[in-house]
Amino acid sequence: MSSMPLFDQTPLAESIAALRQDLIQDDGPRISTMRNYRFAILQYKPEDEFELRRKVQQLSRELEQGGWVVLTISLQKLLYSRLREQGDEWLKRIIDREREFRSIDPERGLNDLKKNIGPLIEGPDGISADCAKIIADFADANPDKVDRTVALVGRAGALFPFFRSSALLKHLDGKTRQVPVILLYPGERRGQTSLSFMGELNPDSDYRPRIY
């Protein structure tokens, strides 16, 4: 396992290299010190989004060439899917309300969006359930590949400011068939143990996974 300190401010490429090294151990992934808790966070600055995507694509190719299956899960696509399920009339009403409130007070418009979108994605039956289903469906259909599968959960910025990623991981716990899950986290480290989602929300220290 990498001896890199847990919260060192390392360049993105170095963080991904450390993650790759811990994933491909002969005795299985070493992304966590807890045997039955296979979660990790790859933290990056929001302004490095496009660099992150390029490097994650390269990492995925390297893992696949080494015999791994990489499940790429886009939180943005899952969010859009849940919004579309509400129907065109609902979407139009929400958009019109946001525009009306924003013309009066931008904060009021944002709060109204939070009130309407939050319940669609929060909790154990929210967007975390969609992630769990993708992973579980693959594991059930390919039991012989589970030990060589990793799930990369990205595009988390699309959930800002409606949802905290710490809640996503909490609700995924126990529902991933032991498939390692890496959350690609746009944000900043604050202090020794906290993360600020997108560098905007109040720091959250409710994280159990290793942070790269």
Distances (CA, A) of 104 to 98, 115, 162: 10, 17, 21
What is the sign, positive or negative, of the torsion defined by CA atoms of 177, 131, 192, 186? positive
> Could you tell me the residue ranges of all domains in the chain?
12-75+121-211
Please check the confidence at residue 165 and state whether its pLDDT lies above 90.
Answer: no
Which span out of 62-66, 71-75, 143-147 was modeled with the highest average pLDDT?
Answer: 71-75
Nearest to 41 by CA among 131, 156, 147, 200: 156
Domain 12-75+121-211: top CATH class? alpha beta
Gyration radius of the chain over CA positions: 18
| pLDDT (tens digit per residue) in 112-141 | 888 889 888 988 899 999 999 999 999 999
| Burial class for 8, CB neighbours closer than 10 Å (0-12, 13-18, 19+) | exposed
The dihedral built from the CA positions of residue 193, 196, 201 and 204, taken in this order, carries a sign that is negative
The pTM is what? 0.86
